[in-house]
Chain A
Amino acid sequence: MIENPYLPFPMRIEEIVVETEDENIKTFELSFVSKEDEERFAYTPGQFAEVSVFGKGEAPFGMASSPILPGRLAFSVSRIGVVTGGLHQMEKGEVVGVRGPLGNGYPLETFKGGNLVLIGGGFGFSTLRSLTNSILHESNRGTYGNLTVIYGARKPGQLLYKRDLEAWQKRGDVDLHLTVDKGENGWEGHVGFVPEITRSVAPSPENANAVVCGPPAMINFTLPALKELGFKDEQIFLSLEMRMKCGIGKCGRCNVGRKYICSDGPVFSQAELLRLKAECHL
């Protein structure tokens, strides 16, 4: 019998971090129940997995964890539908199902040796956290040039991964810019939308690549900003979101042009997307 790509393997909830002040986004830290599954799950930042809540179904989430910390996977989940609602009710020690890793992930080979500008908004920051932590790890840091991270949220209480952000701020080898749409007392970061902050930070396109991940409106206004700064379509990478079920290019719902977002993506260069010229809404 050929391997069954529809069978999830079990993972245990080890930790649940409430990320936002409205408690709508939680990060679930999962451990592998079986050593075999752990060894098989070799992934790249930007890849995703289908997470099962048995009885509710499964939904796709990008890994928010980083492959340099083995044994654990993290998924940040916004409470919005049936599966995510089910996940939010779960407790430490309970078991979920995971299928993956799925999709292509960020093109690390392309990024190596150059500067990187990571631009994230809201909930879309999860796989950029994975990528940032990977690059900042001592075994990888030397492989990449300057790292600029621009991350925006509606307000300070909506920023994810506060422990990571604090740790990155203390380091000298990452240029971190946090921004919120609306400031609050005690907020020391930028105030303003991600596109304008991108313009004012003005990262150089010289020997650089940019990754943009966030809500459609943020992407739509950030792409022109990057173009003004001189970034070419080949230097801009996006992680797309579509409803996905099978994750292996069969069930059809994430079909865009000749591509399936789940198996050909979810990461595409802007140049590829322009060639697809389909319902990307970009």
Chain B
Amino acid sequence: MSDPTKTLRKERLEKFLERLLDERQVFAPVKRGEVILIRKIDAPSQVILDYRNAKESPKSVVFPQRETLFGYRTEKGKAELDVPSDTGKGRVLFGIRPCDARGLLLLDKVFGGGCSDPYYMEKRKDTVVVSLGCVDTNQSCFCLSMGGGPFSSEGSDVLLVDLGDRYAAKALTGKGADLLEDEAFEESDEQALRRAEKARERAEASMKPVALRKDLKEHLDRIFDDPRWKDMAETCLGCGICTYLCPACHCFDICDEGAGLTGERIRVWDSCQFPLFTQQASGFNPRPTFKERFRQRIMHKFSYLPKTQGMPGCVGCGRCVTECPVNLDIREVIASFSEGNDR
């Protein structure tokens, strides 16, 4: 098989996006005030590709923060349910970062495994992920230490690499190859491939690795009762921003919104950092303090999910590091359990 990489001259991007918009819903990085967010676009001119990473992860495209599961109408002796249907137009996630694409991989495992989640899967199956390799990385990035990388292809259908006047575009799946059939793409050449490889090497070399022990997932089990958990959680405010911004966090609540006889059952993002997440109606709470909740977040990401899903619940995007109001750094937490006597 020939190399599935093509190239896209930058002046051709606009027309390509226009053709995409004719057939699909396109979600891409856009500027909102001072920040970059992944939002549905109406025109190619809205897209910003010269950015480090979006403030939020793009998970809401396939796992909305608020989603209607069904509408209900009740009368004495009767209950009618109405399930909303998806709009039918396929989605393209264009220009997201490889770490976020890898986050989708974990969501796929959680929502697709066992009893499959139809709301997520319906949206996901028609979603094409076009990610953009990170030529420049942030201080807070640690994707390499989480098994990914600034040019990781996991979870993406196409990987773009900025070569200055054009992009290298590598198809990673059949869905991705179909997208690259568009007339905007040209055959690749030796020089493009070489420059893409160089960019990858440079980006990877610029990242500071987090020193982690190889058996972290087993080691965390052994230190479940360690007194350090309490110290680490001492400054946590329990605001939950780490979990809301995380591309891999997926916990949710289900509740009813309505008045009288009609309403909706919705699901909304929830967070293991909130006391009400586990508090039972009796008042009993199995995770009563910050310590247990902080530990649950770390354990779930670095011990339980690696064992059950084969990958950590962290892709090293660094959002929780930069946005935590009290500067709790997840890298320091897992690195500290890999030092000294923990080694």
Instruction: Give the residue name and chain of the B residue nearest to A278 (CB).
Output: B224
Which residues of chain A are near B110, meaning CB under 8 Å?
A: 250
Are B121 and A245 neighbours in the complex by a CB distance under 8 Å?
no
Least distance between B308 CB and chain A CB atoms (Å)? 5
Least distance between B45 CB and chain A CB atoms (Å)? 37
Q: Would you call B277 an interface residue if the criterion is a C-beta within 8 Å of the partner chain's C-beta atoms? A: yes
Are B300 and A55 neighbours in the complex by a CB distance under 8 Å?
no
Q: Would you call A243 an interface residue if the criterion is a C-beta within 8 Å of the partner chain's C-beta atoms? A: yes
Q: Would you call A4 an interface residue if the criterion is a C-beta within 8 Å of the partner chain's C-beta atoms? A: yes
Are B78 and A95 neighbours in the complex by a CB distance under 8 Å?
yes
Least distance between A154 CB and chain B CB atoms (Å)? 15
The total number of A-B Cβ pairs within 8 Å is 126
Q: Would you call B16 an interface residue if the criterion is a C-beta within 8 Å of the partner chain's C-beta atoms? A: no
Within 8 A of A (CB), among B203-251: 221, 224, 250-251
Least distance between A11 CB and chain B CB atoms (Å)? 9
Which residues of chain B are near A97, meaning CB under 8 Å?
A: 79, 81
Q: A252-B250, A257-B304, A281-B286 are in contact. Are A243 and B74 (CB under 8 A)?
A: no
Could you say which of B111, B265, B280, B304 contacts A243, with CB atoms under 8 Å apart? Answer: B280
A238-282: CB near B (< 8 Å → 1, else 0) gives 000111011011111101111000010000000000000111010
Majority secondary structure of chain B interface residues (helix, strand, loop or mixed): mixed
Measured CA separation A153–B260 after assembly (Å): 38
Which residues of chain B are near A95, meaning CB under 8 Å?
A: 74, 76-79
Q: A3-B118, A251-B254, A252-B251 are in contact. Are A10 and B79 (CB under 8 A)?
A: yes
Interface residues on B, range: 35 or more
Q: Would you call A12 an interface residue if the criterion is a C-beta within 8 Å of the partner chain's C-beta atoms? A: yes
Majority secondary structure of chain A interface residues (helix, strand, loop or mixed): loop
Are A54 and B287 neighbours in the complex by a CB distance under 8 Å?
no
Q: A2-B116, A279-B292 are in contact. Are A93 and B251 (CB under 8 A)?
A: no
Which residues of chain B are near A279, meaning CB under 8 Å?
A: 286-287, 292, 296
Which residues of chain A are near B118, meaning CB under 8 Å?
A: 1-6
Are A57 and B255 neighbours in the complex by a CB distance under 8 Å?
yes
Are B280 and A241 neighbours in the complex by a CB distance under 8 Å?
yes
Least distance between A42 CB and chain B CB atoms (Å)? 16
Are B251 and A4 neighbours in the complex by a CB distance under 8 Å?
no
Which residues of chain B are near A113, meaning CB under 8 Å?
A: none
Which residues of chain A are near B307, meaning CB under 8 Å?
A: 258
A75-97: CB near B (< 8 Å → 1, else 0) gives 00000110010000000011111
Within 8 A of A (CB), among B262-314: 263, 265, 267, 270, 272, 277-282, 284, 286-287, 292, 296, 299-300, 304, 307-308
B residues near A, CB below 8 A?
A: 69-70, 72, 74, 76-79, 81, 83, 110-111, 114-119, 121-122, 221, 224, 250-256, 258-260, 263, 265, 267, 270, 272, 277-282, 284, 286-287, 292, 296, 299-300, 304, 307-308
Q: List 17 A-B contacts (CB under 8 A).
A: A6-B69, A7-B81, A54-B256, A54-B263, A55-B72, A55-B263, A57-B254, A57-B256, A57-B265, A80-B281, A94-B76, A97-B81, A252-B270, A253-B272, A263-B114, A279-B292, A281-B286
Knowing that A253-B272, A255-B296 are A-B contacts, what are 16 other residue pairs whose CB atoms are under 8 Å apart, sorted by A's residue number?
A2-B118, A5-B115, A5-B117, A10-B78, A54-B72, A55-B256, A95-B74, A242-B280, A245-B253, A248-B115, A249-B115, A250-B115, A251-B254, A252-B251, A255-B304, A263-B115
